[in-house]
Amino acid sequence: MQDSPFCVIITVKTDAGGLKAAIYCKEVVMFYKDFKELKLSALGLGCMRLPVLDEDPGKIDQETVDKMVAYALDHGINYFDTAWMYHKGNSEIAIGKALAKHPRESFYLSSKFPGYDSANMSSAKEIFEKQLEKCGVDYFDFYLMHNINENNQAFYLEDKEVWEYFASEVKAGRIKHLGFSCHGQHDLLKKVLDKYGDILEFCQIQLNWLDWKLQNAKAKVEMIESCGLPVWVMEPVRGGRLAKLDEKYEAKLKELKPEASMPEWCFRFLQGIPSVTMTLSGMSNMDQLVENIKIYEECKPLSEAETEVLLGIADEMLKEKTLPCTVCRYCTTYCPMQIDIPKMIAVYNECVYNGSGFAAKRVLDHEPEGHRPEDCIGCGACQQACPQMINIPQMMQDLNAIYQEALKAPAN
Ligand code: SF4
Ligand code: SF4
């Protein structure tokens, strides 16, 4: 008997010091995708938005995470994706603790090298060792060069020593499969694959029905396919942004499929792309996990007509000017003025949507002094880290202008 997505065979020590085989069975309701010799659950648990306490991203609610991980494994999810900086560095620890309660052979664990920050390039080995320690494992099933983009490519792609180091860890068996995540444009993806395609086995990109148009993700998928690599998906619901649409758009979709939720539209869209092998969703509570697993009980892609309507909505939404922040918070670590950048972008977007500065006044009046858009010194450190390539300093200027205008308006 061999391991399968439905059960794994593990060898355990007996009290007498001998070995015996144990079978770990899962209550599987999930479809799987082939990757080399592995069967990966089509849905993976992203660990960037785990449940937290006191609204502090650094304080992970371990008890809930343990329950979510147990439920995920019992229902067929076998892929867990974390990274060095998620949850102020605590995501790796939390997911490691939760997974330690389960046989190592029953899950695939993925983490990432934070090479988007040039300061980390000289510490690749120390960081990798620390990551293994934080996760409590002695190998990663999957490991990615994290967040390659146009702003960091100069040092990220040129540091051959770092790439050679991770290739050596693949040879040593401490990384089973090496890939990369990229928020860059099509040409950058191609550059990465041209340069390191011989050691890279998968490519993780931001992919959802809105970015199919906004970030030209369609062309990226085609290019990755042409290189013979499978696609890993991040932000399938765009940081929750696509879980709730404007009423007029939701009405159109409800007309076609009255019972389908908005996340279901997102996931069914992705299920129609054959090269999509892994879809990672950053789930923050049990309800989301249960709902998402239900959608992955079977592969049921959208019909052509449904896809057409959905992409038509994407076109309409893109006409409305908003900034595509996914609230990943990569930028905030770097802001010397400690401005809550994603919050400011949300305010900016609300103002743009509403055509008024009301939201700016409502929120910024209560923002602590020294941490408002007017305090931005335009250093650009945030922009370098932003996977969405948002011109944050410009947004700060624009938002400040909106706010100053709103301050002049007479109170109602
Ligand atoms: S440009 Fe402004 S918002 Fe961005 S890191 Fe610098 S001070 Fe912070
Ligand atoms: S501005 Fe960019 S880096 Fe910051 S939270 Fe939004 S998407 Fe992430």
Are 136 and 217 part of one and the same domain?
yes
Domain presence at residue 77: yes
Domain presence at residue 314: yes
Domain presence at residue 352: yes
Q: Find the range with the poorest average confidence among 27-31, 182-186, 223-227.
A: 27-31
Domain presence at residue 1: no
Question: Tokens 């997505």 identify what position?
Answer: 5
Pocket of ligand 2 (CB under 6 A): 325-331, 341-342, 345, 385-386, 388, 390, 392
Q: Find the range with the poorest average confidence among 30-39, 41-50, 222-231, 235-244.
A: 235-244
Are 49 and 78 part of one and the same domain?
yes
**In this predicted structure, what is the pLDDT of residue 211?**
86
Are 208 and 340 part of one and the same domain?
no
Q: How confident is the model at residue 12 (pLDDT cuts 50, 70, 90)?
A: very low
Are 308 and 349 part of one and the same domain?
no
Question: How many domains does the structure of the chain reveal?
Answer: 2
Q: Count CB-CB contacts under 10 A for residue 172.
A: 9
Output the residue whose Cα is nearest ligand 1's atom 4: 382
pTM of the predicted structure, to 2 decimals: 0.77
Are 225 and 250 part of one and the same domain?
yes
Q: What is the 3-state secondary structure (H, E, C) of 383-402?
A: HHHCCCCCCHHHHHHHHHHH
Tell me which of 364, 379, 399 to substitute to probe ligand 1's pocket, judged by most ligand atoms within 8 Å of the beta carbon: 379
Are 45 and 147 part of one and the same domain?
yes
CA of 168 to the centre of ligand 2 (A): 33
Domain boundaries, position 122: 28-318
Are 312 and 369 part of one and the same domain?
no
Domain presence at residue 18: no
Of the residues 318, 342, 362, which one is the last residue of a structural domain?
Answer: 318
Taking CA atoms, 65 is separated from 17, 22, 92, 273, 296, in Å, by: 33, 25, 12, 30, 20
Domain presence at residue 137: yes
Are 188 and 278 part of one and the same domain?
yes
Give the mean model confidence (pLDDT) for residues 200-208: 96
Output the residue whose Cα is nearest ligand 1's atom 3: 376
Q: 71-101 pLDDT, tens per residue?
A: 999 999 999 999 999 999 999 999 999 999 9
Q: What percent of the chain has pLDDT over 90?
A: 76
Give the H/E segment covering residue 234: strand 231-234
Are 234 and 343 part of one and the same domain?
no
Are 89 and 226 part of one and the same domain?
yes
**In this predicted structure, what is the pLDDT of residue 63?**
97
Q: 256-294 pLDDT, tens per residue?
A: 999 999 999 999 999 999 999 999 999 999 999 999 999
Are 244 and 198 part of one and the same domain?
yes
**In this predicted structure, what is the pLDDT of residue 353?**
59
Domain presence at residue 95: yes
Q: The domain spanning residue 223 has which CATH number?
A: 3.20.20.100
Are 64 and 141 part of one and the same domain?
yes
Of the residues 318, 348, 365, which one is the last residue of a structural domain?
Answer: 318
Domain presence at residue 326: no
